[in-house]
A and B are shown apart, each in its own frame.
Chain A
């Protein structure tokens, strides 16, 4: 009797957490907006460091963080659609690695100098049990506002970022169109080569 009552309590608790992922009783470190804040904090710190940090240094601080907070396996599925499942395990791993490299390189290249930027929370929108949109706003030093919407998913009770939508434009959509075109006209290796080229161009930016 006591066991089943306990079970009921636990399952109800999980259900509440599921319904309200942003403010649930789950570990705060795992809450979606907290995950987003970790990324934003890292970016701001990198910018504030300015010339004290090299591209490589910024890259190295971001790369392990992104590996932790980006749902890169999901991104592979969303970028390649039904082809994703047909790739070899090693190909999928390669993609995940270089894609994380590209993400880190992109952030390292774009967020390198501080001009008074700040991120503020706007809203956290729940969209089903394992999906949430964390809406943030980047205000630049000149006062220009850019909407950052983090589309997040929960895998194994961890909230991870699937894509970032900047003023309505989805990074995932852009990548998907680019990579699938290469995949159609060439092959998987060409996609990886293309990503590596992009990383290089970010490094030299």
Chain B
């Protein structure tokens, strides 16, 4: 038994070390605390958070340089805020968007700039040139058909004029054929009736002239306007957009756009990351408290001692702060993935203390009571555990260090931090922990909670039915194996966020409607000719909806369109083209007179041919007359006048402006704000590639990305590419690291356990537990993502540690009934797992989806890992001495 001889040799050195520590607990502890304070200081002052997902990727990836250049050339592209105005009608959306734009312009301390492309002077003036020739012709026909109506209302824009006109149409008086049947009279009557009713009821609704004049009379789903905000962000704060968002929400409430049919919502990268951070913080507050409570309860239950639990918690806190200090000094910042070292540290670090303290507890109860019992127990427990704890620390650290050489810096940095953390834990377990034990000398009364006889019988199962258990293990491995290739990494950052948050809901709606430039790919080009040929090639790709460059804002067939517009100007006449379309005031008396005339006219025409639409219009008019006869006549007149005609200005005002377009647009005519979005500060030309596929479906998005990359190569960058590359990098990093970890851990196990079979036995439950966890994830359709991927190395570390502890305990002998499951070691494994699960299982309740999924995987995976270790390892080891 050379291993035992070696163990004894180490023991004497360990004993000297621990004797020294326990003799001078105060200076040792003081040194530990001083070092921790230093580390804490470093962490607070030096440790930054880089929440940019792209920062986690290898800097040598081809698109990284393009991305750097893109950010330098177009700084406004990132960190933008989208104000999304939604309303039942296009007119209400336009009016509300105008109001929001004005309000935003008045907030220069939180808004650098705001642009509303659709409502800009440039697009109002030239918008019609951006229609296709066919669309423009069709619009011309509709306007021509409506000319008699528009011509009248242009001269007098009020509800009385509208009623007079409808009356004349009903009587077919002006020239007999002045209202051609092209104009859908039933629809007009119906809408006017609706407008009257809405005005009388006081509902915020406008008669939509766009719908009325449009060819899509049935499409009554809401309208949307999008404003682009460049917000002032305070990067010194974790919630950089906090002030902006607070002011936005305050403005929204003031304008009454927070609820009701016309509403304003915010999304865009700044809002998304703000709400994500807020949900993480909210989640952390709640789950952190729950975790602390749960961990304390489990510790108290498992250790059955307040001072022992206190020692474990203090030891944990010291290690956590020291590790953070190391991260600050060595790396300087944590990223989205490495920030979860906290989770890792607590999950793994607590096991070292629990093993030590439970062993201490086991030994002190065998020791004769006396003043030196605690010291002796501390030393003995430390001596016994040096070998398994060191081996655990080394193998687990190896598992983490295996990530360091991978191309994915997010994971590589986590590997470095976590690997060092294991060393920190080991060191603390042999400095601060024994010092605290020597200082407090906790007496332990009573035995740890005993399992009842029934349960103790179950502990015999793996030994009594060894072959059945092992067979079951093999069957389970075979059953779980096919799930392995099904496991996905979900690199969509939207999927880790709170699915109910406003920014996520809104951006999903925009993406579904193809209205957001959120999942575009950007390509940077150097000159116009190159841009145009690239644009054409990208445009031809089946997964690309359209590729847009600055030149896309120069319409095609301008001469023909301008010719059409000129003709249209003659046909519609100067009144229609030149009107301002602002609602004219109308008195209650003249409105009542016009309403009466219309009722009469409708009655006559209905007598000739039964018309249901005009029937409902007559009823609405009668209601209006009653209101105009009442005490609030003036109010009713104003309200009805508004619902019927206030919608004209946003629609017809824009049309009138558009009809006056006379000159073709050249590149030099494009407005500065537009050029700025497409021509960089150093002259690079931007191409935006819009997907034609559902980018919320990862496979579709990947297909789109691959196609664009095949054409644009390293000139392309953007969210979908980052996601694809991040997914690849993570998957690659994990595969590579897994191989290295398995090789490294196996070699260490071989070197220390000196028996290939023993090493294989330690690794076997790891494989089984890991496979079962992955199978379970596939089964409940829970992919890995940026937030939960850390669970894998954590589970790996726990499983290796548990295996080592059981194997070494089995070798040490003196097992109750020869069953390793009845030892303090098995108990420590269960307590450690319960602490980790108790601490992190409640992450499942976090509003942040990524954090919640981490909680689920940890709880599930730990259970499977521990069961695999406790059931199958003893079955493999057999009954011991």
Contacts and interface: CB of A to CB of B under 8 A. Distances in A.
Do chains A and B stick together as partners? yes
Given A78-B571, A81-B567, A178 B148 contact: no
Interface string B148-177: 101111110000000000000000001101
A170 interface: yes
B570 interface: yes
Most buried by B among A74, A163, A173: A173
Interface string A68-79: 000000100110
Nearest to A164: B573
A96 interface: no
Interface string A145-178: 0010101010000000011011111101110111
Given A125-B574, A170-B147, A173-B571, A81 B137 contact: yes
B138 to A, nearest CB: 11
Contacts of A176: 144, 571
Best-buried of A165, A170, A176 by chain B (most CB within 10 Å): A170
Nearest to A184: B141
B174 A177 contact: no
Given A78-B570, A173-B573, A168 B175 contact: no
B571 A169 contact: no
Choose among B175, B182, B567, B573 the residue with the greatest number of A CB atoms under 10 Å from its CB: B573
A180 B145 CA distance: 11
Contact of A172 (B137, B145, B180, B571): B571
A38 interface: no
A167 B151 CA distance: 8
A173 B174 contact: no
Report whether over half of chain B's contact residues are helix, strand or loop; otherwise say mixed. helix
Contacts of A169: 147-148, 151-152, 174-175, 178
Nearest to A81: B567
A173 B144 contact: yes
A167 B155 contact: yes
Nearest to B154: A168
B178 A162 contact: no
Contacts of A178: 177, 180
Contacts of B141: 177, 180
Interface in A107-149: 125, 127, 133, 147, 149
Size class of the contact patch on chain A: 20 to 34
Contacts, number: 88
B544 interface: no
Given A81-B140, A168-B155, A174 B567 contact: no
A162 B566 CA distance: 13
B675 interface: no
B575 interface: yes
B572 interface: yes
A22 to B, nearest CB: 15
B564 interface: yes
B574 A174 contact: no
A153 B571 CA distance: 13
Contacts of B564: 81-82
A149 B574 contact: yes
A174 B573 contact: no
A146 to B, nearest CB: 10
Contacts of B151: 165, 167-170, 173
**Chain B, interface size: which category?**
20 to 34
A165 B579 CA distance: 15
Nearest to B147: A173
Interface string A25-50: 00000000000000000000000000
A181 B182 contact: yes
B174 A167 contact: yes
A81 B141 CA distance: 10
A149 B152 CA distance: 13
Interface in A54-76: 74
A172 B137 CA distance: 16
Contacts of A77: 567
Nearest to B151: A168
Interface in A178-198: 178, 180-181
Nearest to A135: B574
Nearest to A201: B176
A74 B154 CA distance: 25
B574 A133 contact: yes
Contacts of B177: 174, 178
A165 B148 CA distance: 9
Nearest to A146: B174
Interface in B803-831: none
Given A177-B145, A177-B182, A170 B567 contact: no
A149 B570 contact: no
A170 B145 CA distance: 10
Contacts of A133: 574
B158 to A, nearest CB: 14
Contacts of B150: 168
B174 to A, nearest CB: 6
Contacts of A78: 567, 570-571
Contacts of A174: 147-148, 175, 177-178, 180
Contacts of B571: 78, 163, 170, 172-173, 176
Nearest to A181: B182
A29 B430 CA distance: 115
Contact of A167 (B147, B152, B180): B152
A147 B148 CA distance: 14
A81 B573 CA distance: 16
B90 to A, nearest CB: 24
B168 to A, nearest CB: 9
A82 B563 CA distance: 10
Contacts of A170: 147-148, 151, 571-573
Across the A-B interface, the 7 shortest Cβ-Cβ residue pairs:
A168-B151, A173-B147, A169-B148, A168-B152, A177-B180, A170-B573, A177-B145
Given A168-B154, A172-B573, 20 more contacts: A78-B571, A81-B137, A82-B564, A149-B573, A149-B575, A151-B570, A151-B573, A163-B570, A163-B571, A165-B573, A166-B175, A168-B573, A168-B575, A169-B147, A170-B148, A170-B151, A172-B571, A174-B147, A176-B144, A177-B144
Interface of A: 74, 77-78, 81-82, 125, 127, 133, 147, 149, 151, 153, 162-163, 165-170, 172-174, 176-178, 180-181
19 contacts: A78-B571, A81-B564, A133-B574, A151-B574, A163-B573, A168-B150, A168-B153, A168-B573, A169-B147, A170-B151, A170-B573, A172-B573, A173-B151, A173-B571, A174-B147, A174-B175, A177-B147, A181-B180, A181-B182
